[in-house]
Amino acid sequence: MKGLRKVLTPFAPDQSGAVSVLYGLGGLIVIIDAGGCTGNICGFDEPRWQDVRSAVFSAGLRDMDAILGRDKLLVSKIADACKRIDASFVALIGTPVPATIATDYKALKRMLENEISLPILTVPTDGMKLYDEGEALAYKALADEFVSKDGGLEKIVLGKTPLTYGSDFEDNALDDYRRIGASTKTVAASASGIEAAKKLGVSYEVYSSAAAKIAGSIPSGKVLVCHDEVFGKTLRDKGIDCDIATFFTLHDEIRKACDRKITEEDEFTDLVMNGGYDIVVADESLKPLAEGFGGMWIDAPFFALSGRR
Amino acid sequence: MAGKAITYTAAQIAKLGKDNIPAELLSGHGLVYSSPATLAYNSPGAEGFGVKRAGLAVPESVMLIVSPGCCGRNTSIVSSMPQYKDRFFYLLMDETDLVTGRHLKRIPEAVCEVVSFLDGQKGKKPKVVMICITCVDALLGTDMERVCTACENALGNGTRVRPCYMYALTREGRRPPMVHVRQTLYSLLEPMDKDPKSVNIIGNFAPLEDGELQRYLTEAGVKHIRQVSTCGTYEEFLNMASANFNIVTNPEARASAHDMSQRLGIPYIELTRIHDVERTAAQYKAFANAVGIEIDLSEDEARAKEAVGSLKESFPDLSFNIGECLNADPFELALSLVRYGFKVDEIYGTLAPEKFRYVSRLAELSPDTKIFCNMEPTMLYYDMSASRAHISLGKDAAFYCPNIPNVAWNSDIQPFGFQGITKLMETIKQTMKEARA
């Protein structure tokens, strides 16, 4: 049945992706929710929360705030926090609540700009899309607000967040985004990195260092890679003859005829069991969907998918 | 002001009065910081009980979470625990569902598929399916009773289907999520003949530690003491409807107890977890009078007094920092410790008007005790270097005070009464001894 999960837990949502990109940039990040969405991010999807504090707050919406559309109250809460929290910008992150009440982000931005002398970023995530789309929206918000062609930046890696690569993530500084337009080398490490580079209009290399590391350990045979598309593409570039399947974005520039964008549990089961593969490279949390698969399974941890650290 | 956590002393708060508690100390006034205590409420994960774990307290139940993907995301922590294997399922909403509400028509089909999956592949048909819905359906005004009836009709096999409301939007409302989920659980009970020798303890989702309360009841002739968490089967759980009376040990279960008194004719009496030995004794005596039994408190009371005295003798000037991720009300616990002659330097809690009485008394005995709010954004800047505490209580206090010994005191199993006081004092003493060894 479409949308029914009997084995897997939900994947990292777009709002987690958005925070993943903005975390550590020195902003005051306000998740427009009642508390649960922020709890999911700080308590689960954002591993840096345990080690490095960042000003990530819940808007603390209550039912009547949402029903009556109390935007002025929200603006007042944020303005009050800005007096007491040092921040270089304010980012508003959407969740299902503003999606339900059709929050006008442009209006919120204008209202805040009248109260606060900081750049205001709005990221219209809704908790129903996947993390890579939220990451792409956050990159877009950064690009719209900060990017210039001034200054030289030797190299920047985009899309290498903890949600795709766990502890092997790579942070950028806010200043990197200010100078990204003059970057001599841009690496797109995941689907959101490709989107970001496209938005910026810079040339980029598609490369996953995590995939490159395991390429040598994959024996010959018919291989299915189920991970981020860049992970699969890098393996292919390293000489692995593989098909790519992904629950996340699959860009046309990566996709070959044998590749698949999948959505449901059953699709993955069908692919593995009937695709004639000798080897599957994927997070082992997917294994219960392929009970009876007789080939080799190479574990490729993918936090956004399994929540495994 | 930037760079400093906002705090007020007990004396300052008492002077302002119950109706003028500073907004920074209250829930629901500003942006919310994700402190460990906030996360324990908003994203309980593997520890503590949020709506998801609580909804599955009924034996032989499973849960279908109908929501945007983000709401079920962290359930993977709970799902990995053996007792929750094959008990969580998800029907993911998309943007079209949000606009049209079409997901509601798909719920009966999803419930049937889940039950069929469990019955066929796993060989364990559930007795109850809890349908957990979230803020989106709160705002859409979804009539879940109707949806659940449609699910029961679609199943047609007697399996009960009940709604669980994970509505963070209603945290400060009249029926917050953790009150509502208790009402949902006990709404499954059907009227049955009363057994004068049966009593329920309702309050938490894990059992009360086996202690003096159960012994007093047994000595008074009670044969069956039931708690939802100790019922091994759904049938055993249903027998809770035969209780002569309910003992409520958590105020969040008060509404359920009221429901049960109205619907099932089961009266209730409330017992509060307190850490003052004399007040605990007074409460038990009032309880015994109310239910018409005789109980002998002397040994348990003496043991608790001895434990307090022993801690006081070993560490006479002990100073505490107290959080709220613990099996106690931090304000009540602080007051009790101060009454015993200890010091309380800082409390990390969320003040509410009903807790003002503790702060008011605390102000008389320990006016300089500082009170911080776990939800306040400036807790980002909390610095414990100014604190003189020797030990912290509560899991969240360990986060704020990493350099002093900590007693987490937050197990699922709930301490209570004299035994709870005794064990807490002994644990504090042991922890301090080890730290100073």
Position B234 in a domain: yes
Tell me the residues of chain B between 12 and 41 that have a Cβ less than 8 Å away from chain A: 28-34, 38-39, 41
pLDDT at site A32: 97
Position B186 in a domain: no
- Given CB atoms, is B1 within the 8 Å cutoff of chain A? yes
- Measured between beta carbons, the chain B residues lying within 8 angstroms of A81 are 30-31, 377
Query: Nearest CB to A43: which of B45, B69, B113?
Result: B45
pLDDT of A95-117, one tens digit each?
Answer: 999 999 999 999 999 999 999 99
Instruction: Give the ipTM of the model, two decimals please.
Output: 0.95
Residue A24 neighbours by CB distance under 10 Å: 16
Give the mean model confidence (pLDDT) for residues B110-121: 94
Give the mean model confidence (pLDDT) for residues B342-351: 96
**How far away is chain A from the Cα of B102, in angstroms, using its nearest Cα?**
13
What CATH number is attached to the domain comprising B419? 3.40.50
Domain boundaries, chain A: 14-129, 145-209, 214-302
Position B2 in a domain: no
- The two most distant CA atoms of chain B are separated, in Å, by 68
- Measured between beta carbons, the chain B residues lying within 8 angstroms of A9 are 72-73, 75-76, 79, 88, 90
Contact residues for B152 (Cβ-Cβ < 8 A; gap 6+):
B159, B160, B161
Predicted confidence (pLDDT) at residue B60 exceeds the cutoff of 60: yes
Q: Which two tokens stand for residue B170?
A: 């209603």
Gap between the Cα atoms of B78 and B52, Å rounded: 9
Q: What is the CATH number of domain A14-129?
A: 3.40.50.1980
Task: Kindly determine whether residue A96 and residue B2, on different chains, have CB atoms separated by under 8 Å.
Answer: no
The SS3 assignment for A68 reads: helix
**How far away is chain B from the Cα of A120, in angstroms, using its nearest Cα?**
16
Average pLDDT over chain B, rounded to an integer = 94
- Measured between beta carbons, the chain A residues lying within 8 angstroms of B172 are 62
Give the mean model confidence (pLDDT) for residues A135-146: 96
Task: Kindly determine whether residue A96 and residue B171, on different chains, have CB atoms separated by under 8 Å.
Answer: no
- Strand blocks (E) in chain A: 4-5, 28-31, 56-58, 90-93, 120-123, 153-158, 183-188, 205-206, 223-226, 242-246, 260-261, 279-282, 296-299
- Given CB atoms, is A102 within the 8 Å cutoff of chain B? no
- The DSSP annotation for B7-46 comes to -EEHHHHHHH-GGG--GGGSTTSS-EE--HHHHHHH--TT
Give the mean model confidence (pLDDT) for residues B383-387: 86
Task: Tell me: do B226 and B137 sit in the same domain.
Answer: no
For an interface test with B, the pick among A11, A14, A31, A38 (most B C-beta atoms closer than 10 Å) comes out as A38
Position B55 in a domain: yes
pLDDT of A199-230, one tens digit each?
Answer: 988 899 999 999 999 999 999 999 999 999 99
Q: CA-CA distances (angstroms) from residue B215 to B48, B221, B223, B416, B419? A: 27, 10, 11, 13, 12
Task: Kindly determine whether residue A9 and residue B31, on different chains, have CB atoms separated by under 8 Å.
Answer: no
Give the mean model confidence (pLDDT) for residues B70-85: 87
Gap between the Cα atoms of A73 and A75, Å rounded: 5
Predicted confidence (pLDDT) at residue B62 exceeds the cutoff of 80: yes
Q: Chain B residue closest to A4 (CA)?
A: B91
Share of chain B residues as helix, strand and coil, in percent rounded to the nearest 5: 50, 15, 35
Q: Are A1 and A118 in contact (CB under 8 A)?
A: no
| CA-wise closest residue to A19 among A169, A147, A231, A168 | A169
Tell me the residues of chain A between 226 and 265 that have a Cβ less than 8 Å away from chain B: none
Provide the domain count of chain B. 3
- Measured between beta carbons, the chain A residues lying within 8 angstroms of B2 are 83-86
- Given CB atoms, is B105 within the 8 Å cutoff of chain A? no
Q: Which two tokens stand for residue B39?
A: 């996360």
Position B231 in a domain: yes
pLDDT at site A131: 98
Q: Positive or negative, the Cα torsion across A10, A13, A19, A22?
A: positive
Position B290 in a domain: no
Contact residues for A150 (Cβ-Cβ < 8 A; gap 6+):
A178, A179, A181, A182
Q: Are B411 and B327 in contact (CB under 8 A)?
A: yes
Task: Kindly determine whether residue B380 and residue A126, on different chains, have CB atoms separated by under 8 Å.
Answer: no
Task: Find residue A153's DSSP bridge partners.
Answer: A183
- Given CB atoms, is B136 within the 8 Å cutoff of chain A? yes
Q: Count how many Cα atoms sit within 13 Å of the Cα of residue B108 in the half-sphere of its side chain.
A: 13
**How far away is chain A from the Cα of B77, in angstroms, using its nearest Cα?**
8
Query: Nearest CB to A57: which of B2, B31, B76?
Result: B31
Gap between the Cα atoms of A233 and A225, Å rounded: 9
- Residue B136: which domain range? 49-179
Task: Tell me: do B106 and B157 sit in the same domain.
Answer: yes
Task: Kindly determine whether residue B30 and residue A77, on different chains, have CB atoms separated by under 8 Å.
Answer: yes
Gap between the Cα atoms of A209 and A160, Å rounded: 10
Gap between the Cα atoms of B9 and A176, Å rounded: 44
Predicted confidence (pLDDT) at residue B133 exceeds the cutoff of 80: yes
Q: Are B426 and B312 in contact (CB under 8 A)?
A: no
Q: Are A248 and A305 in contact (CB under 8 A)?
A: no
- Given CB atoms, is B382 within the 8 Å cutoff of chain A? no
Q: Which two tokens stand for residue A165?
A: 């690569």
- Given CB atoms, is A44 within the 8 Å cutoff of chain B? yes
Task: Tell me: do B14 and B121 sit in the same domain.
Answer: no
pLDDT at site B29: 84
Residue A219 DSSP label: P
Contact residues for B21 (Cβ-Cβ < 8 A; gap 6+):
B13, B351, B353, B356
Confidence of residue B1 (pLDDT cuts 50, 70, 90): very low
Contact residues for A260 (Cβ-Cβ < 8 A; gap 6+):
A243, A244, A245, A246, A250, A267, A271
pLDDT of A273-293, one tens digit each?
Answer: 999 999 999 999 999 999 999
Give the mean model confidence (pLDDT) for residues A153-180: 92
Q: Are B42 and B388 in contact (CB under 8 A)?
A: no
Give the mean model confidence (pLDDT) for residues B307-328: 97
Position B184 in a domain: no
What is the pTM (predicted TM-score) of this model? 0.94
Confidence of residue B426 (pLDDT cuts 50, 70, 90): very high
Share of chain A above pLDDT 70, in %: 100
For an interface test with B, the pick among A58, A76, A283 (most B C-beta atoms closer than 10 Å) comes out as A58
Q: What are phi and psi of A83, to 5 degrees?
A: -70, -25
- Given CB atoms, is B280 within the 8 Å cutoff of chain A? no
pLDDT at site B44: 63
pLDDT at site B46: 54
- Measured between beta carbons, the chain B residues lying within 8 angstroms of A16 are 70, 73
Task: Kindly determine whether residue B169 and residue A3, on different chains, have CB atoms separated by under 8 Å.
Answer: no
Query: Nearest CB to B168: which of A3, A35, A49?
Result: A35
> Which of A34-38, A147-151, B14-18 is least confident?
A147-151
CA triplet A66, A70, A72: central angle to 5 degrees? Answer: 150
- Given CB atoms, is A209 within the 8 Å cutoff of chain B? no
Task: Kindly determine whether residue B43 and residue A36, on different chains, have CB atoms separated by under 8 Å.
Answer: yes
Q: Positive or negative, the Cα torsion across B259, B260, B262, B268?
A: negative
Give the mean model confidence (pLDDT) for residues B156-177: 88
Q: Are B382 and B372 in contact (CB under 8 A)?
A: yes
CA triplet B12, B16, B21: central angle to 5 degrees? Answer: 95
Give the mean model confidence (pLDDT) for residues B65-79: 90
- Strand blocks (E) in B113-171: 128-134, 160-166
pLDDT at site A309: 78
pLDDT at site B384: 84
Query: Nearest CB to A96: which of B1, B136, B380?
Result: B136
Position B228 in a domain: yes
More confident residue, B1 or A14: A14
Q: CA-CA distances (angstroms) from residue B248 to B179, B194, B255, B266, B286? A: 13, 18, 10, 12, 15
Task: Tell me: do B20 and B58 sit in the same domain.
Answer: no
**How far away is chain A from the Cα of B367, in angstroms, using its nearest Cα?**
26
For an interface test with A, the pick among B4, B29, B34, B35 (most A C-beta atoms closer than 10 Å) comes out as B34
* Beta carbon pairs, A and B, within 8 Å: 208
Task: Kindly determine whether residue A5 and residue B113, on different chains, have CB atoms separated by under 8 Å.
Answer: no
Predicted confidence (pLDDT) at residue B76 exceeds the cutoff of 90: no
Q: Which two tokens stand for residue B122?
A: 């796993």
Quote the crossing angle between the two packed helices A14-22 and A131-146, to the nearest 10°: 40
- The DSSP annotation for A237-306 comes to HTT--EEEEESS---TTT--TT-EE--SHHHHHHHHHHTT-SEEEE-GGGGGGGTT--SEEEE---HHHH
Place of tokens 């708060």: B13
Predicted confidence (pLDDT) at residue A30 exceeds the cutoff of 80: yes
Task: Kindly determine whether residue A60 and residue B32, on different chains, have CB atoms separated by under 8 Å.
Answer: yes
Q: Which two tokens stand for residue A257?
A: 């005829």
For an interface test with B, the pick among A15, A30, A37, A41 (most B C-beta atoms closer than 10 Å) comes out as A37
Give the mean model confidence (pLDDT) for residues A118-137: 98
What CATH number is attached to the domain comprising B229? 3.40.50.1980
**How far away is chain B from the Cα of A42, in angstroms, using its nearest Cα?**
7
Q: What is the CATH number of domain A214-302?
A: 3.40.50.1980
**How far away is chain B from the Cα of A36, in angstroms, using its nearest Cα?**
5
For an interface test with A, the pick among B31, B85, B100, B382 (most A C-beta atoms closer than 10 Å) comes out as B31
Domain end position, chosen among B118, B144, B179: B179
